Amino acid sequence: MSGLPQAPLSVHLNPFPNPQPTMPKYRTQPSNVSAVSASNRLTRTLRLSLATCLATATVAIPASTYAQEAAATSGTITGRVQNAASGKYLGNARVDVVGTQIQGFTDEYGEFQLNDVPVGSYKLKVFYTGLDSKEVSVEVRAGEILAKEITLTSADAYGTGDDTVKLEAFVVSSAREREAAALAINEQRFAGNIKSVVSTEAFGEIAEGNVGEFMKYIPGITIDYVAADARSAGLNGLDASFTTVSFNGNRLASAASGGVGRTFEFESATISSASRIEVTKLPTPETSAEGLAGSINLVPKNAFEHAKEKLSINAYLGMHNEELSFRKEGGIGGEKQFFSLPNLSFSYVNPLSKTLGFTISGQSSNQFTDQHRTAPTWNWGQGGGSVTNPIMTGYTLQDGPKISYREGLSGRIDWKFLPGHVISFSAGTNYYATEFNNRNINFTPGTTTATFVQGGTGNSFGPSFTQSASGQGAVTHGQSFRDKATVTNNFDITYRFKGRLWEVDSSLYASNSRGWYPLKTFESLNVSMVNPDTATSVLVTNNTTNVTALQTRVNVRYESDGSPFPAPDRFFVTGTNGTVIDPFKLSSYRVNSARIRPQKGEDTFSGVNFKVKRHLDFLPFYSSIKVGGEIREQIRNVRAWQEDLNFTATDKNAAQFLDRNYNNADNGFGFSNIEWPDPYAAWAAYQANPALFVANTGQQEAARRFYLQNSQYITETVTSGFIQQDVKLIDNRLSLVYGVRYEKTEDEGKGLKINGQGNNLANIAANWRERGQNVTKDYDGYYPSINSSFTLTENTIIRAGYAKSFGRPNFVNIIPLTRVNDTNAVENDSIGNINAYTALVRNTGLKPYEADNYDVTVEHYLPKAGLASVRGFVKDVTGFFVDSKRSITSADIAAFNIEAAEGATLLANSGQIETTENASKPARLAGFELTYRIAELPYIPASIGKLGFYASYTRQRTTGAGQDEFTQFARELGNARLNYSKGNFQSAIGVNYTTRRKVTKGYLGSTTSNDRYGTANNLFVEFIPRRIVIDVSADYRLDKRWSLFANVRNITNEANSIQEVYNDFSPDYSHVNRFEQYGVLINVGVKAEF
């Protein structure tokens, strides 16, 4: 890596070339990867993209003269459909020629085109959910194009049946959520497959502009939180890494916090750029089969949704219930700052003409959260504890204030340069940064039962207290002070053509996400309590090890009046001879060392896709054939560094680094005014005098090994193609969409190559090669699918479908790393211990999970934009990734690039291989989903106002030999939202429910020795218990332009993260393993429309 010293390492140098919190310069390929090869790949992609666009344009443009296409005995009807009240053009409005089977739908611009309409007089019937259907008389003449502008309204919703009357803005605003509900229901009603569609206006203003917070109200979605952030989303009970996320149908990059996972993190996207979100639960051949769980697509705003230009602005103040003051406070960044923060978002749409328009959206969201964590460590197998009588051998209190900054800017230009031809250009950039300063104080009575000093006593414990053995306790401080930043840029150019027989859709796209943790301060200080009785204590065993340990060994006791949850009531700490110590005063501690931990990663998607559709007009029913393909390349490039530095000062008292900005704070769970060490102060002292913190040789070696292990690179190229047929039968009541998709994946991974010991810097330089192991692999498959829908009655639709899908292995599983011990004794290769005659390898030949998906849905559409539906689904999953240990074979030697001499020794001595493999054990996930949505409940007197209601409930279960592989699986999910409006006032309350989730595979505990859980036979399991979150919002319209609004997230301060560990016999008081609260987030502001 450029700028990184090879050996020996000077701790005064930053291991990354640009340590400051500015965007680091970053090469797409590592130093040992040919820049020419990467350039050639990109050049090939660009050339193919250009060729595709030119080819499709060559086919399409000559066909664009509609008059020449029309037969002499028929004509063409074109037009647009508009909501008379809101002024929006309506996508997916159904247009029927009454008395014929001719039917069409409007596109995203509200435009429709009906071809080959026989000459004569007809009525057009236009339908859109939530609006009154309308019939329009037309006269079709041979060879002519008839254009009709059609407006729809709703006498019930807008108080008038006259579609020529444009309602005032304040009336339109009161119906915004109704219109959003109507859009979602209409999209779902006419979709060719099973999916959910939600307008981004459906749930009011979203705190922080976080897409994840918005999506928690979509059926079947499970949101995974990291601290208070909605970080990722899983579908249908599966892990979030099996859900793909796209923008405008093209994959979005995610730096994944500088890691090598596939999980998309929502910090790479903002909601301001999207008009709606589509969640596909059963794919069609034209969409990727990769989403084993499903896929999420953010649909961008377009310039022709509105007839006139429109500007929307929201300005608000983001607050936290613990910091409602408007003065500067301490706790983050080493200085005092405001925690009530300004926020702004805007959207501007301008259809300059009927052929050219643009949109611009942006947001700046800033949010403070105060994170409180309590974490008891219960022990059922050590320290005298048992399953029925455990001992609390540790307790941690964490106080972690955090500020997040989210900024985004996006735009789109739509140009209809010829009739039927549209070119769209979209681009966006998103910046996310967060400062989190987590502070821990750790009380550890320990697991040792015998005394450490002469005259002392052994440990004792009960449900409400723990007393350490004399001299066997410890109290320490720890921190995680890190800044994180992510920048994501994306663009796409899309060309669409729609003619009488042919349709073309092609795009060129790229998305890049860079994430990094800059070297801005020490990540943590190693701070331990000093034993004041060191000089007067006599050890039971007087040796060098115990004499050194005596300096930080103390007596620790905690007590509770009742249950020890959420934290013990009292702590008592004394020296080994009984001297009382105040554990909350920093002068009771010393500084031992500090740690630096910069990290960065980059993720890039680039590709081209094309789709060509041919209407089969020679058939007596509607049918079309669509073919297409995609070439996509993804590059993941990750590097990380971690190094410990010893504190060399003579005076090691921790009070010299007291955090003076955060020493009078509420620390949560009844704690306050704890004195904390300040890594920023220590960093400033280090910058002034680098000799204060110095890495010894062993720490330099460990840092170098850490870097080499975490320098990882992979390129993945996916080539796919599909053929799909759409058919409508029985007077358009039966719709079939079926076909097959082919996908081929080619991976080239680069990881650490180990040719020998790395026990010193010289051996590391000689034997460990950064990204020296290069492995290529490929796999492919065919993925058929069929989706059907039958209109049983005008408002009842039955859907059924099947699709085969797959989920790729995480990059960490397939980037190569091979470690071998060819001796007859346990050996430490400086990464860890390896058993005799054993190879530890990453299986670069892992194949994806695969699933056969079956879905049946019955949908009944209600008046006033309502829907009641029942969905049943089954996923039969195979190919789980499981850890395995077996005898090594000659095939393994070749497959994992094991050196010939080492391989021969392993084979000769019946050696073992430990790796990850695809298991043959299958599993089934099956469940049902209930949804009820209505924009306006009936039978509510007008004097009371209008009530809208939405609710969904999902219940699912797993069976089969592989069911334990479903980690984070939620058996039940539920959402509900009640909207109220009267006059200029609107309000809503939303409830999100997630049942208990299992965190671990199988059972906790060692199978070979006694540990915290005793043994695996005790059947301990780790769970995240059920969670109910309530959000509320209100909106008051001042006039036709201005409104006041407020929303409160998690109004009951429900814990964001709880982990419980227990079995059938452990007592209730020992179940909680971790409990975290992040407070209540409040936004108050003003919004305007012009």
Residue 916 DSSP SS3: strand
Q: Examine the pLDDT at 231 and tell me if it is beyond 90.
A: no
Mean pLDDT, to the nearest integer, of 126-151? Answer: 91
795-812: pLDDT as tens digits: 999 999 999 999 999 898
Which pLDDT belongs to residue 72?
A: 62
Mean pLDDT, to the nearest integer, of 951-969? Answer: 88
Residue identified by tokens 């039927």 is 420
Comparing C-alpha atoms, which of 264, 255, 199, 203 is closest to residue 230? 264
Mean pLDDT, to the nearest integer, of 712-730? Answer: 96
Where do the CATH 2.170.130.10 domains begin and end in the chain? 188-305
Which pLDDT belongs to residue 861?
A: 92
Which pLDDT belongs to residue 5?
A: 31
Q: What share of the chain is helix, strand, coil (3-state, %, to 5)?
A: 15, 50, 35
CATH superfamily entry for domain 65-167: Carboxypeptidase-like, regulatory domain (2.60.40.1120)
Out of 194-198, 383-387, 513-517, 948-952, least confident range: 194-198
Q: Examine the pLDDT at 868 and tell me if it is beyond 50.
A: yes
Of 44-48, 71-75, 339-343, which has the strongest mean pLDDT? 339-343
Question: Measured between alpha carbons, how far apart are the two ends of the chain, in Å?
Answer: 52
Q: Examine the pLDDT at 264 and tell me if it is beyond 80.
A: yes
Residue 683 CB contacts under 8 Å (≥ 6 apart), including other chains:
520, 521, 522
Which pLDDT belongs to residue 287?
A: 93
Which pLDDT belongs to residue 2?
A: 35
Which pLDDT belongs to residue 337?
A: 86
Both structure tokens of 355: 């052929």
Cα→Cα distances 511→605, 607, 839, Å: 5, 9, 38
Residue ranges of E strands in 236-355:
243-247, 250-251, 274-280, 294-300, 310-320, 329-332, 335-337, 341-350
Which pLDDT belongs to residue 26?
A: 28
Confidence label for 863 from pLDDT (cuts 50, 70 and 90): confident
Looking at the chain, the whole-number percentage of residues with pLDDT higher than 70 is 91
Confidence label for 204 from pLDDT (cuts 50, 70 and 90): low
Is the CATH code 2.170.130.10 the one for domain 188-305? Answer: yes
- In angstroms, how far apart are the furthest CA atoms of the chain? 111
Mean pLDDT, to the nearest integer, of 482-498? Answer: 94
Out of 35-44, 275-284, 409-418, 765-774, least confident range: 35-44
Distance CA 387, CA 379 (A): 8
669-680: pLDDT as tens digits: 989 899 999 999
Q: Examine the pLDDT at 555 and tell me if it is beyond 50.
A: yes
Which pLDDT belongs to residue 492?
A: 95
Confidence label for 161 from pLDDT (cuts 50, 70 and 90): low
The torsion angles phi and psi of 823, rounded to 5 degrees, stand at -110, 175
Q: Examine the pLDDT at 71 and tell me if it is beyond 60.
A: no
Mean pLDDT, to the nearest integer, of 856-885? Answer: 92
Distance CA 99, CA 102 (A): 9
Confidence label for 34 from pLDDT (cuts 50, 70 and 90): very low
Per residue, the 3-state secondary structure of 132-158, as one string, reads: CCEEEEEEECCCCEEEEEEEECCHHHH
Torsion, Cα of 1048, 1053, 1054, 1055 (10° steps): 120
Comparing C-alpha atoms, which of 774, 789, 667 is closest to residue 726? 789
Confidence label for 1016 from pLDDT (cuts 50, 70 and 90): low
Q: Examine the pLDDT at 169 and tell me if it is beyond 80.
A: no
Out of 138-142, 174-178, 209-213, least confident range: 174-178
Q: Examine the pLDDT at 512 and tell me if it is beyond 50.
A: yes
Angle value at C-alpha 596, between 591 and 599, nearest 5 degrees: 160
Looking at the chain, the whole-number percentage of residues with pLDDT higher than 90 is 58
Q: Examine the pLDDT at 70 and tell me if it is beyond 80.
A: no
Q: Examine the pLDDT at 170 and tell me if it is beyond 60.
A: no
324-373: pLDDT as tens digits: 888 888 878 888 888 899 999 999 999 999 899 999 999 999 989 888 99
Confidence label for 840 from pLDDT (cuts 50, 70 and 90): very high
Q: Examine the pLDDT at 960 and tell me if it is beyond 60.
A: yes
Which pLDDT belongs to residue 329?
A: 84
Which pLDDT belongs to residue 1009?
A: 62
Which pLDDT belongs to residue 3?
A: 35
Out of 6-15, 229-238, 421-430, 642-651, least confident range: 6-15
Which pLDDT belongs to residue 160?
A: 58
Distance CA 629, CA 962 (A): 34
Mean pLDDT, to the nearest integer, of 1035-1049? Answer: 91
Q: How high does pLDDT run on average in the chain?
A: 87
Which pLDDT belongs to residue 237?
A: 72
Confidence label for 928 from pLDDT (cuts 50, 70 and 90): very high
Q: Examine the pLDDT at 260 and tell me if it is beyond 60.
A: yes
Comparing C-alpha atoms, which of 244, 157, 416, 231 is closest to residue 948? 157
Distance CA 23, CA 255 (A): 14
Which pLDDT belongs to residue 593?
A: 97
Distance CA 1031, CA 1048 (A): 6
Mean pLDDT, to the nearest integer, of 110-137? Answer: 91
Which pLDDT belongs to residue 1023?
A: 87
Q: Examine the pLDDT at 42 and tell me if it is beyond 70.
A: no
pTM of the model: 0.89
Both structure tokens of 299: 């649909």
Of 128-132, 240-244, 912-916, which has the strongest mean pLDDT? 912-916
Confidence label for 1008 from pLDDT (cuts 50, 70 and 90): low
Cα→Cα distances 1051→41, 129, 174, 320, 861, Å: 51, 34, 24, 11, 33
Comparing C-alpha atoms, which of 223, 229, 321 is closest to residue 1053? 321
559-618: pLDDT as tens digits: 998 888 888 999 999 999 999 999 999 999 999 999 999 999 999 999 999 999 999 989
Number of H helices, E strands in the chain: 13, 60
